[in-house]
């Protein structure tokens, strides 16, 4: 009987340790995925800052000149390898909507309704964003204006 109890306790301990290891590994892997995603999009924000001062060109998609959605499309492709649609309207449909107050660096900010957005910018966090504004201003950093909604890419 004592051998059976010892065998049972040993098995229970081994299974308990194994289950804890598996659960810890799964939680760690999940946390690493979230962390990597946040880091990737924080890198997007940092990459975007390099373009401050670039001129605005209607329909522009290169460092020779950007419009708002061309700027967002270019930055995400270069900094994160993420291919986004061309227009703000189309870009607003590929994000998961989030509250503007919850926007982190690398999230997108939109003006207008989802699917009918007329302007897009990249959140830099702390209430700041970067965007291609108009021919007079070009690409610059602003403090949070009044975006209609924000979106996060997966």
Say if residues 69 and 133 touch (Cβ distance below 8 Å): no
Out of 36, 46, 99, 119, which one is annotated catalytic? 119
99 catalytic? Reply is no
Say if residues 145 and 68 touch (Cβ distance below 8 Å): no
Out of 33, 46, 83, 131, which one is annotated catalytic? 131
Out of 68, 126, 140, 154, which one is annotated catalytic? 68
The CATH code of the domain that includes 102 is 3.90.1720.10
- The pLDDT value recorded for residue 36 is 55
The total domain count for the chain is: 1
Residue 8 belongs to domain spanning: 3-152
Distance between CA atoms of residues 73 and 93, nearest Å: 14
Distance between CA atoms of residues 81 and 65, nearest Å: 20
Burial 71-95 (b: 16+ CB within 10 A, else e): bbbbbbeebbebebeebbbebbeeb
| pLDDT, block means (10 residues), the chain with 154 residues | 51 40 39 51 93 98 98 98 98 97 96 97 95 97 90 93
pLDDT digits (tens, 9 = 90+) for 110-149: 999 999 999 999 999 999 999 999 999 999 999 977 899 9
- The pLDDT value recorded for residue 5 is 55
């Amino acid at each position: 009987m004592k051998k059976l109890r010892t065998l049972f306790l040993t098995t229970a301990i081994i299974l308990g340790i194994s289950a804890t290891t598996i659960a810890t590994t799964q939680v760690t892997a999940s946390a690493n995925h979230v962390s990597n995603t946040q880091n990737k999009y924080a890198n997007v924000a940092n990459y975007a800052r390099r373009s401050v001062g670039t001129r605005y060109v209607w329909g522009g998609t290169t460092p020779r000149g950007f419009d708002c959605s061309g700027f967002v499309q270019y930055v995400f492709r270069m900094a994160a390898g993420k291919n986004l649609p061309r227009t703000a309207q189309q870009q607003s449909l590929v994000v998961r909507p989030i509250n503007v107050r919850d926007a982190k660096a690398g999230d997108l900010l939109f003006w207008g309704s989802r699917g009918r957005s007329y302007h897009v910018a990249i959140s830099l966090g702390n209430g700041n964003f970067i965007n291609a504004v108009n021919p007079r201003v070009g690409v610059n950093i602003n403090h949070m204006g009044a975006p209609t909604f924000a979106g996060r890419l997966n």
